[in-house]
Chains A and B, each alone.
Chain A
Amino acid sequence: MGLAFDFLQTACFIIVLSYVLTRTNVLNDDKATAGTSKYKLAVISLIFLFISLYGVVIRAHLVSGVYVDTRIAGIAMAGMIFGYAPAALVLIPTVTISIFIGDVTVAADVVAMFIAFALSGYCHKHFPRLDAVLSGIIIGILEIAHMLLIVWLVRPMSAAKTIIYSISFPMIVINGLAVLLFVLVMKDLNDRKRLWNKEKRIQSEMAVARNIQMSLLSKDFEIDPRLDLHAYLEPAQEVGGDLYAYTIDDGHFFKFIVGDVSGKGISAALTMSRCETIFQDMVRYSDNPAELMTALNKRMCDNNKAGMFITATVGFLDLNTGKLIYSNAGHLSPLLVTEVDAPVVLDKPKGKPLGILSGAAYSNMEYTLDYGRYLVLITDGVTEAENVGRELFGSDRAQESVTGLSNICASMIDDAIVDSVSEYSNGADQSDDITIMSIGIRKTPFEYSINSDIKELTKVANEINKDMANTSADASVRDDIALVIEEYVSNIIKHSDKGKGTGKIRIGIWPEETNAIIQIEDDADAFNQFEADSPMLSVDPEKRQPGGMGIHMTKNRVVDYSYYGDDGGNLITMYLRSQKDKND
């Protein structure tokens, strides 16, 4: 029983030492963390030296007074796992101490230790993978050799026989078990470490993936002075399947998509990235959302072996008029949010999610967004957010969260929904990716209404000058604004068939630092000055009639315009040249 206790002691000692060994990083393949080879050598040798000397110092006592120790095992393990050098560093002190102690078996012990050194070093070179069975076998061989040496070298013969009979079996067993235990513990700890490293590596790759995915989602919401835009997206895991994307096409069409790929995590993220790319590729080539949706669907159906599908809403908003056209592919209905009234759920056109049926058809619906009305798109991460009791947030709560907002703006709407969901879920895990996009038309910062009368135009021109002087627009932009308005509107008045003072003209200005947008609306007959004849420069200046100067100067200052007109009236939006480009 004393033997069993001693063995238990030895076992604990070995387990602690092998744990220390795995924690010192010397086993890392990565040289950077493992340390220099001298450091490694020192650490390893020290540990196995402890094992060997432990055997010397605290021995298992036997009836005959001879002890069983782990010197052989210590040297052999050092040699098998790490090679000759550490084994040598363990061998030399152990041999020295053994000789110093001077047991009756010392000669046999020392020779056995040298053999252990040689054999284990050899095994390390030729059998580099540490194997529990192999280790056990080596120890067995070494112990048998040790026994034979005792028989051979210890005299008298009777003493040798006594020793062999009493200790050979325990020696083999204890050393074998020591080694086996060591190898098993090491293997287990190493496996854990390898798994942990793998997990760390995957985590850092996921962090990079998240950065890539988040950078696909634009955070630049100030893309047009007429547009009040904000979007929020939070994946449930590191990466997710929700998406939003947008662009301004042709100067005044705000084209956007909000989508939700089935599932979440990596597989959804890959599909999301593909969909976003295809949207950006195709968005400028489609006349209307249903057409874009149809084309997008066909592409998403290609190469879709995994059967991923995406719900989406696509919309085109004309910033000049507020007219919105939208299409839907199995996605939640858009919401209409205002300051005063409760939110309204917009009708949505039917359409299957993208990626299922290559020939699926989509249709358009229309709505006009005027100032103060916001289009809000969400994904089901909002409505299906769970609280700790696994109850769903629901669309009623979603609508409640945006009822009664004052000083409303796009970012406020997003924040209101996010805060409401966050409060509701209160610590429960986010079950699905959450996306919110709010879209509105900003109030025209400077708006003027006059009758179609030169005197009124003169008066309002003064007012406009004063107002513009208080903005950030620089002097040349203000000059351009003054000139374009004076020339264009006086032409409207002159040309108008409604008679003096009975037509109405509305002027809107969006001034910026180095450019501006001007919108002019009237109720006269269709008349696009940009297309009318301007008989100007063909005639000798001295003889030329001074008509057409105004539109000539206007054209020089307008880089782009969009015109709508019929006999009920005209609406023109002019984009003034950027002063940055002017001075070259």
Chain B
Amino acid sequence: MEIKGSIKNGIITLALKGRMDMANAADAEQAFLKYSEEGSKFVLNFTDVEFIASAGIRALLTLYRTVCDREGGIVTIINAQPQVVEVLQETDFAELFNI
């Protein structure tokens, strides 16, 4: 997966590109953990995330658990595609990511 990150005003914006499946979820998780050392407010831009499976959700949950325990920690997913929205809704995690 391609992940581009930028930090501005304490908010870490990550633009992800590719499929968040078992092949690529590890990349995402690695990036999440790295950036979680920089801050606790995350905006994940999912414009180019075409697919997510349970491995991808687990990576997101790892990020969530890491930062949301902290004061002011928040993870927001923006521009989620239909497949991602459907999967997050059916697994009841959509709210966690403010979708």
A486 part of interface (Cβ distance < 8 Å): yes
Q: Are A552 and B90 in contact (CB under 8 A)?
A: yes
A486 pairs with B57, CB closer than 8 A: no
Please provide the chain B residues from 1 to 51 with a CB less than 8 Å away from any CB of chain A in the complex.
21-23, 51
Q: How far is the CB of A555 from chain B (nearest CB, A)?
A: 10
Query: A553 and B51 in contact (CB under 8 A), knowing A461-B21, A462-B23?
Result: no
* Contacts of A467-483 to chain B: CB distance below 8 A: 476, 479, 482-483
Contact B91 A553, beta carbon cutoff 8 Å? yes
> Do A458 and B22 touch across chains, with their CB atoms under 8 A apart?
yes
Given that A552-B90, A553-B87, A556-B90 are known contacts, is A546 also in contact with B54, CB under 8 Å in the complex? Answer: yes
Could you tell me if B22 and A457 are in contact, using CB atoms closer than 8 angstroms? yes
State in angstroms the CA–CA spacing of A486 and B91 once bound together.
16
Residue A29 interfacial (CB < 8 Å): no
Give min CB distance, A581 to chain B, whole Å: 14
Query: Counting CB contacts under 8 A, is A111 at the interface?
Result: no
Say how far A170's CB is from chain B's closest CB, in angstroms.
Answer: 107
Question: Does A361 belong to the interface (CB within 8 Å)?
Answer: no
Indicate with 1 or 0, residue by residue over B58-99, a CB within 8 angstroms of chain A CB atoms: 100100000010000000000000110001001111011000
* Interchain CB contact under 8 A, A482 and B90: no
A549 and B22 in contact, given A479-B83, A541-B96 (Cβ under 8 angstroms): no
- A534–B24 Cα distance when bound, in Å, is 25
**In the complex, A117 Cα to B68 Cα: how many Å?**
120
Q: With A454-B22, A486-B22 known to touch, is A541 a contact of B54 (CB < 8 Å)?
A: no
A454-B22, A476-B83, A552-B91 as given contacts; A542 in contact with B96, CB under 8 Å: yes
Main secondary structure of the interface of B (DSSP, over half): helix
Residues of B close to A490: CB separation below 8 A: 22, 54-55
Q: Given the complex of chains A and B, what is the CA–CA distance between A552 and B90 in angstroms? A: 8
Please determine whether B21 and A549 come into contact, CB atoms closer than 8 angstroms. no
Contact between chains at A482 and B51 (CB < 8 Å): yes
Contact of B21 among A476, A482, A536, A542 (CB under 8 A): A482
Q: Which residues of B contact A556 (CB under 8 A)?
A: 90
Contact in complex: B54, A461 (CB < 8 Å): no
List A contacts of B90 (CB < 8 A). 552-553, 556
**A residues 268-306 in Cβ contact with B at 8 Å:** none
In the complex, A487 has a CB within 8 A of chain B? yes
A546 to B56, CA, bound (A): 11
CA gap between A539 and B90 in the complex, in Å: 14
Question: Scoring A residues 44 to 74 as 1 if CB is less than 8 Å from chain B, else 0, what string do you get?
Answer: 0000000000000000000000000000000
By the criterion CB–CB under 8 Å, are B23 and A549 in contact? no
CA distance A553 to B53 in the complex (A): 9
Q: Shortest Cβ distance from A358 into chain B, in angstroms?
A: 56
Q: How far is the CB of A516 from chain B (nearest CB, A)?
A: 15
Give min CB distance, B76 to chain A, whole Å. Answer: 16
Pick the contact of A537: B21, B83, B92, B95 (CB < 8 A): B92
- Contacting residues of chain A (437-477) with chain B, CB-CB under 8 angstroms: 454, 457-458, 461-462, 476
Distance (Å) between the CB of B9 and the closest chain A CB? 26
Which residues does chain A contribute within 8 Å of B21, judged by CB atoms?
Answer: 461, 482, 486
Q: Does A511 contact B (CB under 8 A)?
A: no
**A549 near B91: Cβ-Cβ < 8 Å:** yes
Please, which residue of chain B has its CB at the minimum distance from the CB of A539?
B92
Q: Mark A525-552, 1 if CB is under 8 A from B, else 0.
A: 0000000000011000110001001101
A546 touches B61 (CB 8 A): yes
Whether the Cβ atoms of B22 and A546 lie closer than 8 Å is no
Q: Are B53 and A487 in contact (CB under 8 A)?
A: yes
Q: Is the CB of B22 within 8 A of A541?
A: no
A541 touches B51 (CB 8 A): no
Residue of B21, B53, B82 contacting most chain A CB atoms (<10 Å): B53
For window 237-256 of A, CB contacts with B under 8 Å fall at none
Bound Cα distance A553, B96 (Å): 18
Q: Are A486 and B53 in contact (CB under 8 A)?
A: yes
In the complex, are the beta carbons of A461 and B91 less than 8 A apart?
A: no
Inter-subunit contact B92/A458 (CB<8 Å): no
Which A residues are within 8 Å of any B CB, using their own CB? 454, 457-458, 461-462, 476, 479, 482-483, 486-487, 490, 536-537, 541-542, 546, 549-550, 552-553, 556
On B, residues with C-beta under 8 Å from A are: 21-23, 51, 53-55, 57-58, 61, 68, 82-83, 87, 90-93, 95-96
Known: A483-B51, A549-B91. 9 other contacts (CB 8 A): A476-B83, A479-B51, A487-B53, A490-B54, A537-B92, A541-B93, A549-B54, A552-B90, A553-B87
List 21 A-B pairs, Cβ < 8 Å.
Answer: A461-B21, A461-B23, A462-B23, A479-B51, A483-B51, A487-B54, A536-B91, A537-B92, A541-B92, A541-B93, A542-B96, A546-B58, A546-B61, A549-B54, A549-B57, A549-B91, A550-B53, A550-B54, A552-B91, A553-B53, A553-B90
Q: Which 10 residue pairs spanning A and B have beta carbons closest together? A: A549-B54, A458-B23, A550-B54, A486-B53, A479-B83, A546-B58, A541-B92, A549-B91, A556-B90, A483-B53
